[in-house]
Amino acid sequence: MTALARGIGSRLGQAIGLLLAVVVVVFFLIQIAPGDAALYLAGDQGVGDAEFLAQVRADYGLDRPLLVQLRTYVGNVAQLDLGDSIYFNEPVLGLIVERLFATVLLAGTSLLFAVGLGVAIGVYTARRPESPMSSAATVTSLVGFSTPVFYSAIMVIVLFAAKWSLLPVGGMEDVRYDGNWVGETIDLLQHLILPALSLGIIYLAIYSRLARASMLEVLESDYIRTARAKGARERVVVYKHALRNAVIPVVTAAGLQVGNLLSGALLVEVVFAWPGVGRLAVDSIFRRDSPTLLGIMIFSSAMVILANLLTDLVYRIIDPRIRVGGSR
C-alpha cells in the first residue's frame, strides 16, 4: 500500500470518528435546548390536549430514554437516514437536498469571487508594495474584514436596490420567466449577484491580504532571484514560478473556512430570502423542529470535513513536495 493510500485511509478514518463525535455532541445540544416541538406543533394545529401531545412524542420517539434515542439516531444516520421533519412531515435528507443547490451556488460563487479577485489584488499590490493602489487595498481590506456579513448585506441592498434599483433582492427567481431557460438563467444570475457579493466581501479582504503577504515572501526567495538572474521575464517569474507557491496559504485558508462560509451563508440567506439550507435551519429553530435542525448541523459538519479532505488533495496538485501522511 502506497503512502498516499495510507494517508487517505487515515484521514477517512479520522473523518468518520470526528463525524460520529459531532453527531453525539449535536444530539445532546439539541436535547438540552429550550422548547418543545410537540407543543409548537400542537399550537400550529390548534390542538393542545395531553393526548395529542403524547401521540406526537410517541410518533417521533421523544418519549423514549435519551440514550435509547441517541443509539437509534446514530444507527439511522449510519444508513443515511436523518429522520423526519416534525413540521413538514417529510424526510429531513430530502428537505436538505432540495435546498442544497441554492446554498452551494451561493457559497461557491462567493468563494470563487473572493479567491479569484483576492489573489489578483494580492499579486498586483505585492508587485507594487509602495504604490497608492497597495495602500488603498490594505485600508479597504481592513474595512471589509471588520464589517459583519449581515451589515454588508443590508448596505448592498440599500445601495444597489433601494437607491439605484439595479438588482433584485428577494428570492432566487422571478416567476415571469417560467419556461424561458435563457430568461431564467439571466434572472438567476441577477438574483445571485447581491447575496454572493455580500457573503464574499469579508473573504475577499482575507484572501487579498493573505495573497499579498505570501507573494511578498515568495518574491524574496532564492529561486526567484535565480530565475531573474537567468533573464526570465518578470511576468514569467511572477505567474509561473512565484504564484504557485504564493497561493498555497490561500488554498489552506479557503479549505479551513468552509464552516465560516456556511454560517455566513445562513445570515445572507435570511436577509435576501434565499431558499437555501441556511434559511431552512433558521425556520427550524423558530418551529422547534429538532430533527430538521439536527440533520442540517450534521450535514453541514460532513461538508466541512469533506472540504478539508479535498484541501489535502489539492495540496498535492499545487505543491508536489507535500505528501499525504506527512512524507516528502
Express each pLDDT in 75-125 by its tens digit. 998 898 998 888 888 999 999 999 999 999 999 999 999 999 999 999 999
Q: Among residues 121, 66, 104, which one has the least CA distance to residue 250?
A: 121
Supply the pLDDT for residue 306.
Answer: 86
Q: Is 165 left (phi over 0), alpha (psi -120 to 50) or beta?
A: left
> Which residues fall within 8 angstroms of residue 308, CB to CB, at 6 or more apart?
15, 255, 256, 258
Cβ neighbourhood burial of 89 (10 Å; 0-12, 13-18, 19+): exposed
Supply the pLDDT for residue 98.
Answer: 93
Ranges of the chain whose pLDDT falls below 70: 1-5, 7, 36-38, 40-49, 175-179, 319-328
> Which residues fall within 8 angstroms of residue 93, CB to CB, at 6 or more apart?
80, 81, 82, 295, 299
Supply the pLDDT for residue 328.
Answer: 43
Supply the pLDDT for residue 327.
Answer: 45
Supply the pLDDT for residue 46.
Answer: 54
Supply the pLDDT for residue 33.
Answer: 76
Query: 3-class DSSP state for residue 131?
Result: coil
What is the distance between the alpha carbons of residues 26 and 20, in angstroms, rounded to a whole number?
A: 10
Query: 3-class DSSP state for residue 84?
Result: strand
What is the distance between the alpha carbons of residues 255 and 311, in angstroms, rounded to a whole number?
A: 6
Supply the pLDDT for residue 275.
Answer: 92
Supply the pLDDT for residue 179.
Answer: 67
What is the distance between the alpha carbons of residues 233 and 318, in angstroms, rounded to a whole number?
A: 22
Q: What is the pTM of this model?
A: 0.84
Residue 240's beta-bridge partner residues? none
